[in-house]
Chains A and B, each alone.
Chain A
Amino acid sequence: MSETPPPGSFDPDGIDPAIIQAIVSGGIPHYGVLGVEFVTASREVATLRLPYNQDFVGDPETGTLHGGVITTLIDSVCGIAVFMAMGRLLPIATLDLRIDYLKPATAGQAVLATAECYKVTRSIAFLRARAYHQDRPDDLIATCASTFMLGSSGEVPFPKHIKVPQ
């Protein structure tokens, strides 16, 4: 059994995306109240989805989402991209996020956020992320540049009942 896995399938040296899916769907209280959904995760890229919810509106006249909820989605997907790039679930902490809001999210539509971790040093991970609607992936709602601390003094950000590969 030494066949090369087909593209997009489970990376034997990395984190099984099913573990990320378990964290997203049941591990983090604030994901639960937002209804954040797992879409995909690989060494290179991770994507989360936020279904539209009127509770997240920032402008009641247009139904546009508040920037804060886009920030939360982007911060979340960046964290997952760090885990995937490192191939292990280590304690991490957001150092900074710079978010450009390019256009308002369309009322009634889910928002996707994709993050790429393009450089990792001993202490720091560097990321780019973007938010968009599924049918217009190039018409961006927001872009983000962020850095994360690796091996921060805290604990991995999910409950003990989620199994961690050794």
Chain B
Amino acid sequence: MTLLDAVRRAKESGDAAHVVSSIPYFRFLGLQVGRDAQGSFCQLPEDPRLIGNPRLPALHGGVVGALLESAAIVELIMTSEAEILPKTINITIDYLRSARPVLTFARGSVTKHGRRVANVRVEAWQDDPAKPVAAAHAHFLIA
């Protein structure tokens, strides 16, 4: 199954897991997708392999960045009218709090969906969605 097939299947079924399971790096991270009244979200289970600071301890900042970028891609795929494979142009990640090595969530929202470029904002949180551990905005090429 190609990635575009996976995108098609995810959009038909409303289940982004088809996309996540076809991307090796998402499998490596153990990334999962969920769905609630607000739409799709991504989650990263607790996993000691993802620790970047064993003294605090804290998740590696790069892993948090990867979760944010992944959630932005998932949101774009699931909400776009077309079947698209977003390519990241750039991402700006703000680290707001130390991310403990526990279950972490992220959800994106498409700020602007143009013909060739989309702008997506995304936040990551742990226990409390009102206290995000990191936020990002990213541009994707969708042509």
* B69 interface residue per 8 A CB criterion: yes
* A58 interface residue per 8 A CB criterion: yes
B-binding residues in A (CB < 8 A): 27-33, 54-61, 65-69, 71-76, 93-101, 154-160
Interface size on B, residues (CB 8 A): 40
Q: Which residues of A contact B50 (CB under 8 A)?
A: 29-30
Residue from B26, B87, B92 in contact with A96 in the complex, judged by beta carbons closer than 8 Å: B92
Pair B58/A54 contact, Cβ less than 8 Å: no
Residue from B53, B60, B66, B98 in contact with A66 in the complex, judged by beta carbons closer than 8 Å: B66
Pair A58/B23 contact, Cβ less than 8 Å: yes
Pair B24/A56 contact, Cβ less than 8 Å: yes
A-binding residues in B (CB < 8 A): 2-3, 22-29, 48-56, 58, 60-63, 65-67, 69-70, 85, 87-95, 98
Pair A56/B28 contact, Cβ less than 8 Å: yes
11 further A-B contacts with Cβ under 8 Å, apart from A96-B93, A157-B54, are A30-B63, A33-B49, A57-B25, A59-B23, A60-B2, A66-B66, A71-B93, A101-B90, A154-B56, A157-B55, A158-B54
Nearest A residue to B62 via CB reads: A72
Q: Which residues of B contact A93 (CB under 8 A)?
A: 95, 98
Q: Which residues of B contact A32 (CB under 8 A)?
A: 49
Pair B23/A28 contact, Cβ less than 8 Å: no
Pair A71/B62 contact, Cβ less than 8 Å: yes
With contacts A71-B66, A96-B95 taken as known, whether A60 is within 8 angstroms of B52 at the C-beta atoms is no
State the CA gap A55–B23 with chains docked (Å): 9
